[in-house]
Structure 1
Amino acid sequence: MFESLKKKFSRTSDKLEEELIEEAQEENNLEEESGKKFSFFSFGRKDKKEEEDFKSDVAEIPQEVESIQETDTSDDETSDDKDEKSGFWSFGKKSSDNKEEPQEEESAEEIQEEEESAEEIQEEEEPKKSHFWSRNKEGDTEESEDADEKTEEKKSRFWSRNKDNDSSEENDEDEEPSGMFSFITAKTISEKHLEDILWELEMGLLEGDVAMEVASAVVDSVKDDLVGRKIKRSNDITEYTYNALRNAVAEIIDIPGKSMTEMIEAKKAQGEPLVVMFVGINGTGKTTTIGKLANYYLKKGYTPVIAAADTFRAGAIEQVNYHADKVGVKLIKHQKGSDPAAVAFDAVEHAKAQGKELVLIDTAGRMQTNTNLMDEMKKIKRVAKPDLVVFVGDALTGNDATQQASKFNEAIDLDGVILTKADADSKGGASLSIGYVIKKPILFLGMGQGYDDIKEYDADWMLNQLFSESGEEVNINEA
């Protein structure tokens, strides 16, 4: 999702870094620093990864310490497993061990040969335990020193945060191989540095079907956030730009409003059904969305009913009837060409009589410029008295969906928006703009063609999709 928008955000960060580094080179105010440059999107996970790494290291300490202690006290262990071992394994035991059976006396040469043989086998099979055998040898100070050095080497590796290069391979996936730069004297971001960069960002947003007022709001917020920031390292530029863009977008997409589920519960407490009327132009997936919502709330334990109030379009009643049969809900319908308002009214009365909690009213798709059809839609609203009027728009149409929603909002006063095909939206213009422009919340996102492919809108989830790399974004089953 939103791949085009993500690239524009990342490019803004890269351009600002290039600008500051180029200026610092001219001022002889730049030096290369040890370390690696983080990518733009890595800052969304860097803090979390560091916290997990720290917790992992802390959790390993007791195990490592216990392992060292067990090694140091291995001479005193007299477990049944060790007693059962034969041959050279018994050489480490003291002659005073009560569990040790008497052995025949052997010559000093034979003992030495057997000890040497045992050490050779042990070095081949378990080189890490060589210091264990050297403990039982008398006068072999060289072996003891080697064992101590190995133990110290093991401990130093353990206490080091970066144990080895291979172990940090996974964490380095988000880092670029290039070196990191620092400024000898800290640089301050000024309006001069941002002028061309933010103009390019604004043009990029407009090309991505983001509404003009939304693009301007994002650019102004980023400018206010970055101007005056003091930069010491190149990674600081990326991090500050990431946070500035994320904060700007967070304010744009978070439009307050109650969820449809909360409203169903509130109406249920009053003994009334929640009545929802769906509007929009033909081809946006309005009827399919009604089928998805009926299935969604049926699985939540509610009983929906659908009103086939699109009596003008050929095949419209058959289409909504198909979806109702598929998900297993009641459909209220009249003959083709009958009064749509009457169909909506009958559906509401049926829900009240049968104790059903949700009425979903399908209406004829119409262009926002068609005055006669818009008047008909107003009549349905007067008769059915819906609690919610929801605009269904196609996310792939971008700025067109935003303009359509604005016209419908002027004519009939919308309460919310559902965007279909959001999973296939690479630009993100409609998702970013539509709620902000009409000041109404997005309620659901269509995420595929199946009846289960619908998700209640969550601003935090949306923000994560906009500021994460490919392959991490869509999981419609997330709460």
Structure 2
Amino acid sequence: MAFESLTDKLQNVFKKLRGKGRLTEEDVKVALKEVKMALLEADVNFKVVKQFTKAVQERAVGQDVMNGLNPGQMVIKIVNEELVSLMGSETTELPLKQGNEITVIMMAGLQGAGKTTTVAKLAGKLKSKGKRPLLVACDVYRPAAITQLQVNGEKQGVEVFSMGDKQNPVDIAKAAIEHAKANQQNVVLIDTAGRLHVDENMMQELADIKANVNVDCTLLTVDAMTGQDAVNVAKTFAEKVGIDGVILTKMDGDTRGGAALSIKAVTGKPILYVGMGEKLSDLEQFYPERMASRILGMGDVMSLIEKAEAALDQDQAAEMQKKLKKMEFDFNDYLTSMEQMNKMGGIGSVLNMLPGVGSKMKDLEGMIDEKALDRTKAIILSMTPKERSNPGILNPSRKNRIARGAGVDITEVNRLVKQFEQSRKLMKQMPGMMGGKMGKRGGFKLPF
């Protein structure tokens, strides 16, 4: 996950500050020197680092902080606020028109940044919000680009407009808008051609599309893994073509995160979305305050709640809650819980958003055995419907048959059945978790 190293380093700095009863100006300077090094190592633009540490220092050496009851926490609060400011303060929404009026969004970016996948992800997100998107295949140069868009469009249930790879992208874009008008589609997403590096032909083609089509928003897709190169690419596109916002991809990878902290300050353009995985659902809106919270190891509970609400069927959750209270929870429900967890990105994704856990993910990764979860699913699917509904009938001969069907040893089946029974007993003993204060407040139940 992005920022792991930066989070660790910042938490070490803050630990030292918390240990002091009072802070001197020298304490602040020493701490900020370490913060500066941590940011530079995270590949944050050096001018941005300089401005950031200066802003923090000016606020941190004020009388209110130095004479406060908990100056260490005040410095952390200031760092948090300045990080939010650095990334844009406000969450930027796509400028979508109302009703049947068409919004035209042009997607730009270099090859390898994940532009074609990202435009399909965005189409799916807009569709889930009630929009009627149309994907437009204007990358007529890269082999299989059109096919890739068509495959992803089909998975998202979104139509893809294509005229093949022999037509001019400007003509394709113009025809696509007419097609959208005729078919009551109100968002047109144009997937343009990328190159291996910034060149005049690409820039000219983008300019030609904008000159012939009324583009409402130009979004640039950049690869977070490339660090400052991503920032330089964004700056070039902003100057030569004009962009309205950025989508950062591969933020779930082993990236130092510098691009996320630098782009807004260097280009003046906001980050609108971040790609957090390879699935077509792995596109998150970018919230500066939530990202700052993740960077500082404070978790991202709001995003976790939103993921849970999107993944959980409320009626299904209420029914499961009743079953748990009555000890009627069976292997069908167990399977449903696993599927809901997968919809939320898996247990690793959930843990990463919990306060204090994200920075320890490296330690926890060895404990999270995704293959073991797959084996558990295989075991449950090897049971008959009757066995899943009535775990009490699982005698040794049935367990042996299930083990053979799942391709596992009988000991794994026995272990799962034992864990399942222990879970049911635990749930019975903890009624507060199954509908206490959280239930009365309309809270959600995480599926694990």
TM-score bracket, normalised by the shorter chain, equals 0.5 to 0.7
Summarize the alignment of residues 216-235 of structure 1 with structure 2, pairs less than 5 Å apart.
216-229=50-63, 231=66
Q: Measured at CA, do residues 344 and 471 of structure 1 come closer, stay the same or move farther in structure 2, by a change above 3 Å?
A: closer
Determine what percentage of the aligned residue pairs are the same residue: 33
Secondary structure at the aligned position of 1:225 is classed as: helix
Report if the CA contact (8 A) 2:134-2:160 is conserved: yes
Counterparts of 1:414 and 1:330, CA distance in 2: 25
Q: Measured at CA, do residues 478 and 259 of structure 1 come closer, stay the same or move farther in structure 2, by a change above 3 Å?
A: farther
**Which residue pairs with 2:44 in the alignment?**
210
**Which residue pairs with 2:168 in the alignment?**
339
Question: Which of 241, 245, 256 in structure 2 is aligned with 1:412?
Answer: 241
Aligned residue type for 2:186: E
CA RMSD of aligned residues (A): 2.5
Q: Measured at CA, do residues 7 and 257 of structure 1 come closer, stay the same or move farther in structure 2, by a change above 3 Å?
A: closer
**Which residue pairs with 1:72 in the alignment?**
none
Q: CA deviation at 1:231?
A: 4.8
- For structure 1, the 5+ residue unaligned runs are 18-37, 39-179
Question: Which of 302, 319, 322 in structure 1 is aligned with 2:151?
Answer: 322
Q: Measured at CA, do residues 268 and 334 of structure 1 come closer, stay the same or move farther in structure 2, by a change above 3 Å?
A: same
Secondary structure at the aligned position of 1:246 is classed as: helix
Q: CA deviation at 1:307?
A: 0.7
Summarize the alignment of residues 139-288 of structure 1 with structure 2, pairs less than 5 Å apart.
182=21, 187=22, 189-190=24-25, 192-229=26-63, 231=66, 236-254=70-88, 256=90, 258-260=92-94, 263-264=95-96, 267-269=97-99, 271-288=100-117
**Which residue pairs with 1:442 in the alignment?**
271
2:137 aligned with 1:308: yes
Q: Measured at CA, do residues 438 and 257 of structure 1 come closer, stay the same or move farther in structure 2, by a change above 3 Å?
A: farther
2:120 aligned with 1:291: yes
Q: Measured at CA, do residues 473 and 7 of structure 1 come closer, stay the same or move farther in structure 2, by a change above 3 Å?
A: farther
Q: Deviations over 1:394-422 (max 9, x none)?
A: 11221111111001111111001111122
Secondary structure at the aligned position of 2:307 is classed as: coil
Q: Measured at CA, do residues 430 and 408 of structure 1 come closer, stay the same or move farther in structure 2, by a change above 3 Å?
A: same
TM-score (norm 1): 0.59
2:18 aligned with 1:10: no
TM-score (norm 2): 0.63
**Which residue pairs with 1:379 in the alignment?**
208
Secondary structure at the aligned position of 1:277 is classed as: strand
Secondary structure at the aligned position of 1:423 is classed as: coil
Q: Deviations over 1:118-164 (max 9, x none)?
A: xxxxxxxxxxxxxxxxxxxxxxxxxxxxxxxxxxxxxxxxxxxxxxx
Q: Measured at CA, do residues 244 and 425 of structure 1 come closer, stay the same or move farther in structure 2, by a change above 3 Å?
A: farther
Counterparts of 2:48 and 2:149, CA distance in 1: 36
Counterparts of 1:471 and 1:375, CA distance in 2: 41
Q: CA deviation at 1:474?
A: 6.4
Q: Measured at CA, do residues 250 and 345 of structure 1 come closer, stay the same or move farther in structure 2, by a change above 3 Å?
A: same
Counterparts of 1:255 and 1:353, CA distance in 2: 39
Counterparts of 2:286 and 2:160, CA distance in 1: 27
Secondary structure at the aligned position of 1:419 is classed as: strand
Q: Measured at CA, do residues 294 and 471 of structure 1 come closer, stay the same or move farther in structure 2, by a change above 3 Å?
A: closer
Q: CA deviation at 1:392?
A: 0.5
Aligned residue type for 1:442: I
Aligned residue type for 2:216: D
Q: Deviations over 1:243-300 (max 9, x none)?
A: 121121121112557512xx32xx234x421100000101111111111111112222
Counterparts of 2:242 and 2:197, CA distance in 1: 13
Q: CA deviation at 1:381?
A: 1.6
- For structure 2, the 5+ residue unaligned runs are 310-448
**Which residue pairs with 1:82 in the alignment?**
none
Counterparts of 1:463 and 1:408, CA distance in 2: 26
Aligned residue type for 1:326: K
Q: CA deviation at 1:311?
A: 0.3
Report if the CA contact (8 A) 2:9-2:38 is conserved: yes
Q: CA deviation at 1:469?
A: 4.7
**Which residue pairs with 1:477 in the alignment?**
307
Q: Deviations over 1:321-371 (max 9, x none)?
A: 111122222211122242111111111111122221110100111255311
Report if the CA contact (8 A) 1:221-1:244 is conserved: no
